[in-house]
Amino acid sequence: MIYHYRDDDGLEETFEAAGDAGEATATARQMLLGGWHGTVTKTTRLWADVTPEGETLGWRVSAEIEPPEPACAPGGHDWEETSVQGNGGGVIVTSTCQRCGRGRIKNTWDHASDGTILETVTYTETCTEA
C-alpha cells in the first residue's frame, strides 16, 4: 500500500509499506528520525501526518529526538541526584556528574511544542544547584 508522508517541517514523501497501519507508522517514525539532521539541547518530539493513498483521513505519527549526552572523563558520567521537585503531574530531577561537574535535568512533566506531555532531558555545562 502507498502512503503519503508530510512532517511538520513541510517535508513530503511517498512510501510503500506492506501490511497494516502499524507497519506504515513504524516506517514513518524511522523517516522522522532519519530526516532529522539538526541537534537538540533538549528532548524534542517531532510529528508527521501519514495518509493512505486515495484517502483524505490519515493519522499523526510522533518520534522523540534525545539530546546527545556530553562527553565526560574516562569511565563516563557518574550522576548523583541533587534535587527532586514536583512539577505538575511529574517531577524535575536534577543530577550532577561527580566526574565532570555537568548537570542533567530530567523533567517527567514537560510539554512538547504541540502541548502534549513529554518527558525531557537537558544537559548543562555546569552544576545548576544554587
Candidate residues 28, 31, 48, 77; the one interacting with Zn ion per rule CB under 5 A = 77
Tell me the C-alpha distance between 54 and 2, whole Å: 9
Q: Which is nearer to Zn ion, 88 or 101 (by Cβ)?
A: 101
Give which of 33, 63, 40 is closest to 121, Cα–Cα: 40
Find the shortest distance in angstroms from Cβ 50 to Zn ion.
39
Q: Which is nearer to Zn ion, 45 or 102 (by Cβ)?
A: 102
Considering only residues 23 to 62 of the shown chain, the ones binding Zn ion according to CB under 5 A are none
Point out which span in 16-24, 47-55, 89-97, 116-124 binds Zn ion (CB under 5 A): 89-97
Considering only residues 91 to 120 of the shown chain, the ones binding Zn ion according to CB under 5 A are 97, 99-100
Q: Which is nearer to Zn ion, 108 or 124 (by Cβ)?
A: 124
Quick check: 109 and 88 in contact, CB under 8 A? yes
Quick check: 69 and 78 in contact, CB under 8 A? no
Contacts 24+ apart (CB under 8 A), 101-105: 101/126, 101/127, 102/70, 102/72, 102/77, 102/126, 102/127, 103/127, 103/128, 103/129, 104/77, 104/79
The verdict on 72 binding Zn ion (CB under 5 A) reads yes
Find the shortest distance in angstroms from Cβ 70 to Zn ion.
7
Q: Which is nearer to Zn ion, 62 or 122 (by Cβ)?
A: 122
